[in-house]
Every structure is written in structure tokens, then in C-alpha cells.
Structure 1
Amino acid sequence: MLLDELMKRLDEKKDRIIEIRRYLHQYPELSFEEEETAKYISDFYTDVQVDSIETNFGGQRGIVVTIKGSKPGKTIAIRADFDALPIKEETGLPFASKNEGAMHACGHDGHTAYMLVLAETLAEFKDRLTGIIKVIHQPAEEKPPGGALAMIEAGVLKGVDAILGIHVMSTMKTGTIHYRSGNTQTGRSYFKLVIQGKGGHGSSPHLANDAIVAASSFVMNMQTIVSRRINPFDTASITIGNFDGKGTFNVIKDSVTLEGDVRTMSPETREIVANGLRNFSDGLETSFRVKTKFEYTNDYPVLYNDPDVTEQVRQALFHASIPEVKAIEETPPQPPSEDFAYYLEKVPGCFFYVGAMPESGEVYPHHHPKFNINEKSLIISAKAMAAVVVSFCGGDN
């Protein structure tokens, strides 16, 4: 059967997947700056029998590779991201980052490595596939507005019937695959509040108007949005990541800037939070006689997995009987946001997860300077995506 032969061929290349991952891990590049990574990816396909390769797709170093089956059928897209994070690596790995201040702390090096070898292998079997497979190598997932938007605007989803993606997860056990139907990952918003008061001396507070006091009131009151405005069965979190009130100990601060992060699991909840924050900001002007400037921006939307596509993914994984996979489980909603959600707003698809928990030592979450993955997850990712691709495009089983 086609899938059995694909799996066997991937097994023969699993060490190569790890080699590619380790190379990419040593040379991470930040979002919208991935010049050498994009070149590495495009060079990889030089001798691969794909039908087309488009570089600088969307004007941001995206790469789209097309593999055409021998007979008409569905067009599916499979996506891997390739940017890194502005984090100084502290893993001590022999292949640790050589680019100071940049690190693959989210697993995108692994995504790219498995996808390159999978695409190469699918191309070897394209005479036994139907339809069209678009392989999307996407830059800038980590930094809003994200790389997905530009690729969508450039037409990457034209004619696509379904899109699929995998994320390796250090917090999930290696040997497990996780899926979820419907709303799966939170949408994300950003806000900034500038509070202008009146500076003064600490000995004469009545002659000043303390911006820090007003800002502190905002921070405390905003927590009531989640506790008193959001349905307890809904998901929302609000975080102040920056409270810029630094000054001299005996001087009343003239101006304070706050920046924050909002995560929600539905557009309706996102709007409730936005309105609540605006109301508290406006209220400061009356309560504290300060001036406020409030900005609120929605970026990555809620990630919604199409139920029908997700069920096809689940069944494909179950019937594939991948030897390295011990369990295929439904996951609860995931708190992080992901710009794959933009694709899913346009076409049905499924974003699922492959466990990559290290076998020993402490487990560090994504975006941590000591983050690492179990490299066994890479062959599992390649085989899992192969199984799903065959379920859509397996003309010769």
C-alpha cells in the first residue's frame, strides 16, 4: 500500500530529519528577518522533483512548493513555519544557537525539518497520488501581524480544499498525538494605555496628580472584567506585560504607559474585554482627572478546526497505526495563539499536535530559554502528516 511505502521511506530518512533540525537550530532568524533560512529551504528543493517552487511568496520570504498527483483530485495545503524568537538560548546543547539573542524556542526548526523531508518523499510518490499538494513554508509566525496574512493575500489558498498543520509540543508526552474540533486556540489582542497626570514632589501630593495611582487603579479594576463580565464557562485572560512607571523615589510620576495582552476563545468574549478596558480607561479621566490615550488591536483570531476535516484527520491517524504513536487523544483548548488561525478563517482545515516531551530532565515550556524537544517527535510528525495527506490524496492505496 502507498502509505506503508511512504512510512518505510520516511524511516530511512529519519536521521536526516534530525540533522536538518539541528542545523536550523544553530542558525535561528527572527520573524521577518529569515533570509538565510528561506535560502536553505529553497536550496533544499533544487534536486527534488516538485512541480513548482515559488520563493518570496507574499513578499516576506515565504516559499510555496507544488506537488501534482497523476490524476485530478483535491487540493490540500500543508504548512510549516520557520521563524525563531528573540531569546538567548540556555540549553547547553551541542547544536545550540550561534546567532546571539535568537533561538528556536518554539519548535519551528523541527516543523521545517520534518516538512522538507516529507515533501521530498511525497514528490517521489507523486505518480501514485491524486490532486495537488501545496507545501507552505511560512515565515514570521511569532510576530504580529504574522506571515500567514501576506501569503493569504498573495493567493496561497487559491483553489485549496483543506489546509493542515502540526505543532510539536514539549508539554505533551512523546508518542502521543492530540486533536480538537471547533475552537481550539485562543485569539490574541494587544492594548496600550498612556495616562497623563501631573508630576510633582512627593511631599506635596495635593499639588500633583499621580499617574501611577491612576494606572494602579486600572490594573486592579480590569481583573473584574474576567471575574464579573465573562461567562465562567468562557475563556479569557488579561495580562499587563509592561508598566512603565520608573522614576525617582520622591517624585510623583507625570505619565505612565501600560501595555497588555488579551486571550479569548470567541469573538464575542474578545469584544466584551475590549469594551471593558475602554470603559475603565475612560473612567480614569473622571475619577482621577487625568488624560488617557487607549489603543486596542486584535491580531491572531481564534483558531477554529473544521469538524469534518478534524474527523478525517483523526480517522487517518487511527488507521495508519504508526508504530511510534501510543495514543491519539482529544486535547482540551490550548491557551497560546497561532497565526495558522488566519488560514482556517478562509478554508476548512485542522491544526493538530504531536507530543515532544524530552525523555529526561525538567520539561520547559515553549518560549523558554531552556526549551527543547524530543527529536523522536520529528519522525512521528512526518508520518502523521503523511497519513493525513494520503487520506486526502491517496489515489493508489
Structure 2
Amino acid sequence: MSRPEPGTAAVDAALARRMIEIRRHLHRNPELSNAERETQAYLKQALEEAGLGPVRPVAGFGLAVDIVGTAGPSNRKVVIRADIDALPIVEMSGEPFTSEKPGVMHACGHDAHAAMGYAAAILLDRRRQSFSGTVRLIFQPAEEAEPLGGRRVVAEGLLDDVDAAIGIHVDPYTPTGRIAVGAGPYTLACDIFDVVVTGNSAHAARPSDGIDAIAVACSMVTELQKIVAREIDPYDPLVISVTGIEGGGAYNVIAAEARLKGTIRSGHEETRQKAWRRLRQVLEGVAATHGATVAVDLQRGEPPVVNAPEMVELVRQAGRAIVGPDNVLSAPGWTAADDFAFYSEKCPSVYFRLGIRNEAAGAIHPLHHPQFRIDEAALPQGAAVLCATAESFLKTME
């Protein structure tokens, strides 16, 4: 891997140690979406101790801090976004700094995103004299669950005076030392659904006296899979996943009610609308076939992230300088969703992936896995690319 070019932002050893310390503290003390009180307080203290400010609370349990360049007058602004929330997962990673909160884990790498955001802020503060304009760091809560923090960031006007936005996500499918980015749609839209199936209770020895809500729900799960498999063009991305099923309570009683929940991921609005329509039709049809009834609650979530070509090129330029040309991948997007999409709806944006896969370090598991690990050697590179991309954007506008 090549060394950063002269004049390029680089994370020194002391800052790297502090970044890792912050990441491990957050990993040890994860908090779920819309409950990031301690995370907010900890990051605020870390930023203020580093001399940054004013650090203001935003979007509930988020933070924002502006770093103003001194190279000359400019009204240009660019956002760097780092999400900070964790997931309801029991950690099994074996890390010495494993979660101390039962059932909560940073299994998506947002602890690393927050730490890289911190390091990027320090780098930019050190390099104020090299750029004009403002970099706004947003440490955003609630990326993982409704009500989404990205939507609230927009509603609070934090992007109203912003010209561009930059987001990063750790990528366990790409080796450490590489970054991946591409123009156009880069994640899928995400919606969630809740379903209540109502039948009639009966003695388990006489199921014919009732309508088994669990059996109906199981048929629904099977039939929903056919929407993607048999009704959608294979080149048109759509994923429908049932992620929870609950019903019954006794060994000898036919369940009168069962509940399903799940998610719809789509790449195009037309397909999104079709999926909603067909999901309702399939569920209502299966319920009617079995003499049951069904109630469906479908919530619209984030749209797809769309990467602006000119912002993608800035990331590529920064990546070539920091990790070397051969380690900058022109990679397609992924089927995950991210509420950074609300930023990309508001202004030209780029969302790039930082490789953190390293078999020797045990960083081989996918996102949202209880054994998920991060190769921390990648984090200085991610912070440097964030800094260099923001700085390059402001310089192109001078």
C-alpha cells in the first residue's frame, strides 16, 4: 500500500490511539436507537476536550460541530455524517472490550463510524488554514430504527445551508486497506411491516373447531417469498424478509392470534409500490382462504442512497492518495439500507465503504452478526479519506 501523498491528511499515532480508545469505549457501552444518552454525552466531552466547539445537541441524542476553515472567506459547507446507535443483538465476538449491556451490541460498526468522525474532526481542525468554508460533523442517532435520525436531521434544518454530504460505512466483505465507491443508487430503500393474523381458538386436540392463526401465518411467510421469486425481474432489486413471528402460549390451545414482522428492500419506486400492493393482496388472500382475518401496518422508511458522480470522484481522488490507486474499488452498491439517503435527497452526496475484513484479526463475519468484528487498522484510513474528501470539496469551490 502506498504512503499518503505529501500534504494529504493523515492520522498520526497519538490520534490513532485516541480514536481506537473512543471506539472501544463505545463498543463496551452500546445504546439502541433513540436512546443514545450516554453516547451523546461521551462524544460531546471528547470533542470539547480536544478543543472543538461549540458542540450542540441535534436530532434528539445526536451532536453537531462546525469546523470553519481560515484560508479565506467562504459560505460553502459540507457535512460529514457518522451514525452512533447500536443493535438489539447479544454479542458473541469474544473481543476483550465486548458489550457490557446485555442484548445490545455495535454489530454494524457505528462505534467505528463515530470514532472516525471524531478523528476526521481533529484532522480538519488541525488543517483549518488549508481550506475555506465549513465542515459540519453530524454524529447522528437512530440510523437503525424508527423514528429515523436522518429524517430528523433534515427536519431540523441541519442540511438547509449545506452544499454536499459525505457518509462512510465499514464493509466486512472488502479487505482492509481498500475502499469501495460507485455513482448512482448505492443502497436500497427500506420499509417495515407488522401483521396481525386473527383466527379462532380451540383445543389442540380438536383443531377443526378453530382457525389456527399460526398455521395461517406460516402459509403467509411461504407465499410472500413468491413475490420476489416469481413476479419481479431478477435485475430489479427487491428483498422481502419476514424477520419475526410470534403466537400462542399453551401446549394444548390452538392460537387465536399470530404476529409477523419484516422488511421490504427495493431499488426503484415503482417496484417499491408494487411490493406494498402485492404484500397486502397476498396476506389478505391467504387469510381469506383459511377463514382468518389480517391487519397490515406498513411504514415507509428511508429511500435509496444515491451517490453524486462528482462527489464519488472526490472520494476516489482522496482514496488514491491515502490507500493507493489499486485499493480504490469501483464497486456496486449493496442491498443494505441507510438513512443517509435523506441526506442524498437534500444535497449532492457520497456514501463509501471502508474495507475492514481481515481473517487474521477474526474480522470475517457479516454486518448484524453476533460475532461481528472490525479490523481497527482500517480506521485511520477511513478518517483520513473523510477529511481529505471534505477538504477537496471545499477547495473545488474556492
TM-score, L = length of structure 1: 0.91
In structure 1, distance between residues paired with 2:9 and 2:37 = 32
SS in 1 for 2:241: strand
The alpha-carbon distance between structure 1 residues 98 and 196, as it changes in their structure 2 partners (threshold 3 A), is closer
Q: Per-residue deviation at 1:166?
A: 0.8
Code of the residue aligned with 1:103 in structure 2: it is M
Q: Is 1:281–2:283 an aligned residue pair?
A: yes
Q: What is aligned with 2:22? A: 20
SS in 1 for 2:234: coil
The one of 128, 141, 150 aligned to 1:148: 150
Q: Please list the CA deviations of residues 54-78 of structure 1 after superposition, one character each: whole Å capped at 9, or x if unmatched.
A: 42212x1211111112221521000
How many percent identity over aligned positions?
A: 34
In structure 1, distance between residues paired with 2:152 and 2:32 = 17
Code of the residue aligned with 1:96 in structure 2: it is T
List aligned pairs for 1:211-250, cutoff 5 A: 211-250=213-252
Q: What is aligned with 2:69? A: 69
In structure 2, distance between residues paired with 1:393 and 1:153 = 25
Q: What is aligned with 1:376? A: 377
Q: What is aligned with 1:333? A: 333
**Structure 2 residue runs without a partner (length 5+):** none
Q: What is aligned with 2:310? A: 308
The alpha-carbon distance between structure 1 residues 339 and 164, as it changes in their structure 2 partners (threshold 3 A), is same
Q: What is aligned with 1:198? A: 200
In structure 1, distance between residues paired with 2:191 and 2:11 = 43
Q: Per-residue deviation at 1:80?
A: 0.7
Q: What is aligned with 1:270? A: 272
Q: What is aligned with 2:299? A: 297
Verify the 8 A CA contact 1:53 1:63 in the aligned structure 2: no
In structure 2, distance between residues paired with 1:188 and 1:97 = 27
Q: Per-residue deviation at 1:289?
A: 2.4
In structure 2, distance between residues paired with 1:161 and 1:101 = 39
List aligned pairs for 1:130-169, cutoff 5 A: 130-169=132-171
In structure 2, distance between residues paired with 1:4 and 1:47 = 29
Verify the 8 A CA contact 1:185 1:335 in the aligned structure 2: yes
The alpha-carbon distance between structure 1 residues 256 and 29, as it changes in their structure 2 partners (threshold 3 A), is closer
The one of 108, 123, 126 aligned to 1:124: 126
Q: Please list the CA deviations of residues 294-350 of structure 1 after superposition, one character each: whole Å capped at 9, or x if unmatched.
A: 1111212212112232233223323x2x25775111222212111111111111100
Q: Per-residue deviation at 1:161?
A: 0.6
Greater mean alpha carbon deviation, residues 6-15 or residues 180-189: 6-15
SS in 1 for 2:248: coil
Code of the residue aligned with 1:341 in structure 2: it is A
Q: Please list the CA deviations of residues 9-52 of structure 1 after superposition, one character each: whole Å capped at 9, or x if unmatched.
A: 645522222222222222222222222211121112325454x4
Q: What is aligned with 1:392? A: 393
Q: Please list the CA deviations of residues 366-395 of structure 1 after superposition, one character each: whole Å capped at 9, or x if unmatched.
A: 222221111111111011112212211248
The one of 30, 33, 51 aligned to 1:31: 33
Verify the 8 A CA contact 1:76 1:132 in the aligned structure 2: yes
The alignment's C-alpha RMSD in Å is 2.4
The alpha-carbon distance between structure 1 residues 396 and 124, as it changes in their structure 2 partners (threshold 3 A), is farther
The one of 89, 92, 108 aligned to 1:90: 92
In structure 1, distance between residues paired with 2:133 and 2:358 = 37
Q: Per-residue deviation at 1:263?
A: 1.3
In structure 1, distance between residues paired with 2:47 and 2:209 = 69
In structure 1, distance between residues paired with 2:44 and 2:357 = 30
The alpha-carbon distance between structure 1 residues 370 and 198, as it changes in their structure 2 partners (threshold 3 A), is same
Q: Please list the CA deviations of residues 204-256 of structure 1 after superposition, one character each: whole Å capped at 9, or x if unmatched.
A: 44432332333233222222211222122111111122222334455433222
Greater mean alpha carbon deviation, residues 40-49 or residues 276-285: 40-49
The alpha-carbon distance between structure 1 residues 6 and 249, as it changes in their structure 2 partners (threshold 3 A), is same
Code of the residue aligned with 1:385 in structure 2: it is L
Code of the residue aligned with 1:162 in structure 2: it is A
Verify the 8 A CA contact 2:248 2:254 in the aligned structure 1: no
In structure 1, distance between residues paired with 2:11 and 2:214 = 62
Q: Per-residue deviation at 1:353?
A: 0.5
Q: Is 1:346–2:346 an aligned residue pair?
A: yes
SS in 2 for 1:170: strand
In structure 2, distance between residues paired with 1:175 and 1:77 = 24
Verify the 8 A CA contact 1:170 1:374 in the aligned structure 2: no
Q: How many residues align?
A: 392
Q: Please list the CA deviations of residues 255-296 of structure 1 after superposition, one character each: whole Å capped at 9, or x if unmatched.
A: 222212211112211111110011112223542222221111
List aligned pairs for 1:4-15, cutoff 5 A: 4-8=6-10, 10=12, 13-15=15-17
In structure 2, distance between residues paired with 1:145 and 1:301 = 14
Q: Is 1:366–2:367 an aligned residue pair?
A: yes
Q: Per-residue deviation at 1:194?
A: 1.4
In structure 2, distance between residues paired with 1:125 and 1:171 = 32
Code of the residue aligned with 1:294 in structure 2: it is V
